[in-house]
Every structure is written in C-alpha cells, then in structure tokens.
Amino acid sequence: MLSRWILHWFIKSKKALNLFYQSSIILIMKISLLLTFCWFASFILNAQQPTIQYFRPYNKTGINVFETTKNDSTLFTGIKVRIGGNFTQDFQGLSDQNNATPVFAGGVNTNQLMPLTNGFNLAMANLNIDAQLDDGIK
C-alpha cells in the first residue's frame, strides 16, 4: 500500500515538475524574445532621428561645447522633431579626515566631522525634445 502511494506521489510530482520546467522555459523564451525585440527597436528608432540645424549632441561629443556652430550645415526641409532621453545613476565613494584640535562646546566636539559613507546618489533622468520650426529657429 505504501509503495503504491509513493509511486503515485512520484508520478504526480514528476508531472508537476515537468509542467514547471515547461512553463519556465516558455517564460525564458518570451523574455529573451522581448529583449531581442527591444535591442533591434533601439537601432531602428535611433536611425529615424532627423538632422536639425545648429544641434549640439547630448552624448560625449557635445561635452565642452557651449555654443552651437555659426555655420548652417543642414538645409531646412520642414518642421523636424527629435525625441530622446538620458539616465544616470552615480556612485560616490567618499572619505574625510580632520587633524584639527578638538574644541568642546556643551560636551560636543565642534571640530569633529560627520561620518561619511559610500553610496548611490539620487538617480537622474532627462527627456530631450528638440524641434526645428523654421530655417534657423530651433
């Protein structure tokens, strides 16, 4: 009797385990398909960004560029809109030290520094919308 129960439990658990594995594999395939689609979509959407007159890029090529060029390098062919975004998550590793002579006022050392710890700053996200409305008007 006990052996029948064990055999029945084993078969039942094996079916449940196979069902779990099948659903896990399907879920992994769906996630990988979604990630692949997003990867390809990023290239397709990036290729559709129109060129705008007097545009300063937001990536590393636009660093230390405080004004756009005075040359009109792109012909105006109509109203154009560029939409983009950036995200940053900074990590700070801070330390401090103080060699000042302790000065006590009210039982508290006024020259003592506050303890600092390493950690992440507040995340920052930007939405960039650039529009060219007319020739030379951005």
At residue 125, the pLDDT reads 92
Residue 132, Cβ density class (10 Å: 0-12 exposed, 13-18 middle, ≥19 buried) = buried
Conformation bin of residue 107: beta by default, left when phi > 0, alpha when psi is -120 to 50? left
pTM: 0.47
In tens, the pLDDT along 32-74 reads 888 888 788 877 766 677 788 888 888 888 888 888 777 777 8
Does residue 1 carry a pLDDT above 60? no
In tens, the pLDDT along 96-136 reads 888 888 899 998 988 888 888 888 989 999 998 989 898 88
At residue 10, the pLDDT reads 60
Does residue 81 carry a pLDDT above 70? yes
At residue 127, the pLDDT reads 92
At residue 24, the pLDDT reads 78
List 132's β-bridge partners, or say none.
80
